[in-house]
Amino acid sequence: MSKIFLIDDDSSVTNILKIIIEDKELGTVCAISQTPEDALEDLPDIAPDVVIVDLLMPEMDGISFVKKAQTVFPDASYVMLSQVSSKDMIAQAYDAGIEFFIQKPINSIEVCRVIENVLEKQHLQKTVKQVQNIFSSNSSNQAKKAPENDLSKKLEYIFRDIGISGEAGCRDIAAVVSYLYKHDDEDSELTIKEVCSRFSDAPKSVEQRIRRTAAAGLSFMANMGLVDFGNPIFNEYSGTLYSFEQVRKEMDYIQGKSTQHGSVKIRKFINAFLNMCKIR
């Protein structure tokens, strides 16, 4: 099971988190610390998969802790607890390297969702590396290969932006994009199902998961557009990964103005992913 390290000067918070994590079988709470200074010393020995740390602590705030922790133990994923709604502080936290926020007061549903998303991202990164290793013997495409970590980080960044990082189909999208990244010149005309058949015994199932995940991203983008039409993430992806016309159609569906969802052309969706990974 995944190892989770809890850091908060309020023991009642860590006790609640521990109960939720163990009751929902999200992982094992391998350690609890009330001071970030002690936690920094313990990190390398504990080697957790996930670190959940409070933003506001008396001697060292969570942002400062994460910056230092990543130099001590960069292999963990960092999640922040916060009551703060300041956009500037939230942006600073993401810049420092956190993966997600958990809002206080603690909600078990949100804790489950965040931890599952973090663990899914870790699994996704491992999957991308495995797929890249499968095709690493193809030397004809060595010139355009991105470093493994670079490609996986680009994919993770996009998944997070369009709100699908917790979807099972992300693994399949990563596998397809990784394959095409190395074979796009010779396989550019293949359908998604044909591409999936190159590395899966159940290409139809893989394609279906990709379609469901792409649709989830479309819904996320449409909801984002309804809340903040000028959002830079909305503007970046609504006309690249998706057709803006179909995003508008999904927005109309959400508002009850239409009975039809927006749709996604999967090959175009994958090609856009591929292009974004090449140029980022």
Instruction: For each of the domains in the chain, give its residue range(s) and CATH number, in order of start.
Output: 3-106 (3.40.50.2300), 118-279 (no CATH)
Would you state the pLDDT for residue 142?
45
Q: Tens digit of pLDDT for each residue in 18-45?
A: 999 999 999 999 999 999 999 999 999 9
Confidence band (pLDDT; 50, 70, 90) for 218? very high
Higher pLDDT, 238 or 136: 238
Give the three-state DSSP class for 32. Answer: strand
Higher pLDDT, 135 or 24: 24
Would you state the pLDDT for residue 184?
60
**For the ranges 57-61, 118-122, 132-136, the one whose mean pLDDT is highest:** 57-61
CB-count exposure of residue 165 (10 Å: 0-12, 13-18, 19+): buried
Mean residue pLDDT across the chain: 85
Per-residue pLDDT at 130 exceeds 80: no
Higher pLDDT, 132 or 83: 83
Q: Tens digit of pLDDT for each residue in 63-77?
A: 999 999 999 998 899
As a whole number, mean pLDDT of residues 112-140 equals: 67
pTM of the complete model beyond 0.85:
no
Would you state the pLDDT for residue 144?
44
Would you state the pLDDT for residue 146?
42
In this structure, which amino acid lies at residue 234? F
Q: Produce one character per residue of 206-229: b if its CB has 16 or more CB atoms within 10 Å, e if not.
A: bbebbbebbbbbbbbbbebbeeee
Per-residue pLDDT at 51 exceeds 80: yes
Per-residue pLDDT at 17 exceeds 90: yes
As a whole number, mean pLDDT of residues 204-227 equals: 90
Would you state the pLDDT for residue 138?
47
CB-count exposure of residue 158 (10 Å: 0-12, 13-18, 19+): buried
Are 238 and 221 in contact by the 8 Å Cβ rule? The answer is: yes
Q: Tens digit of pLDDT for each residue in 150-205?
A: 778 888 889 988 988 878 888 889 888 888 887 765 656 778 888 888 777 888 88
As a whole number, mean pLDDT of residues 206-217 equals: 92
